[in-house]
Amino acid sequence: MKTRKLGNQGLTVSELGLGCMGMSFAYGAADETESIATIQRAIDLGVNFLDTAEMYGMGANEQLVGKAIASRRDEVIIATKFGIHFDLNSRTLVVNGTPETVKQSCDGSLKRLGVDYIDLYYQHRVDPNVPIEDTVGAMAELVQAGKVRYLGLSEAAASTIHRAHKVHPISALQSEYSLWSRHPEDEILTTLQELSIGFVPYSPLGRGFLSGKITSPSDFAPDDFRATQPRFQGENFYKNLDLVNAIKEIAKIKNVTPGQLALAWLLAQGEYIVPIPGTKRRAYLEENIGAADIMLTPEELTQIQQVSTKNAVSGDRYSASLMTSLNK
């Protein structure tokens, strides 16, 4: 597994990371034994960049990751996030970026992960009621205290990134980006290159849709978060299935899987980009890792771009309530 740099502060990670969210949250039933085996297999194969957050399973995912890496701390780069929780009463996300929350959340994550420091600490969502300077200022104090090594933001607008970067160097932005979520190309990618900030695309497989393994709404378990989101509902689902089928045809000619093609396309967008495909099964992990060995020709990249344009996807990427949490 090759490595890539995130930012100019010294953070180097495997060119593909592992998103751990689905092991404990949002994507159906959990299987702790297989999830731990998947994390450890990832490390064995050279994937050292693990992504979690305090809100994934209300801390359960951090505990899971901590258990999996307990004897291998020196082999991994741990990224976690703070700043949002799910209010069970209102069924909405609550964003909190106060300096007090920053410090309390960090201490909680350190305890759940069972580590002395966090390698990369993200603000999960930008709090519109707290100046980004105040939030990042508190995050910078964590760096000074040795509790955190590098800072990141998630789903932040270009103007917010500029303001944050003036307070303390931002090493990475984590936002959704894939063949069916092309919005970062409008402004974000230019900003990141200008400031030498790394980019960590989450949901690089379109929440699993680009893998080609989801062919019907009935494929989702009753408690699967995706079934409640616009792109996976009604007419949108079948329009988006047409896009996946077009990607499948290109992948078939290339003799790779659709998911591998989607990840290879992302890796080809720039050396500062490190996708974090999520899975809770070793078989899918190994399939995803295979994307790192796929080289796409200029002609193939053009062909992919032609079938997956910015406006090819039908439906918003989140429900209306969740869309309000994004910094624009």
Q: Which residues are catalytic?
A: 56
Cα separations in angstroms, 257 against 52, 129, 158, 260, 282: 26, 44, 34, 5, 16
Taking the C-alpha atoms of residue 221 and residue 216, their distance in angstroms, rounded to an integer, is 11
Q: Strands 3-6 and 172-176: what pairing?
A: unpaired
Rg (CA), the chain: 19
**Contacts with 63 (C-beta within 8 Å, 6 or more apart), sequence order:** 112, 113
Cα separations in angstroms, 171 against 6, 75, 165, 192, 261: 6, 20, 9, 10, 27
- Neighbouring C-beta atoms of residue 199, cutoff 10 Å: 24
Residue with tokens 């020196």: 74
- Please count the residues of the chain: 328
- Neighbouring C-beta atoms of residue 255, cutoff 10 Å: 8
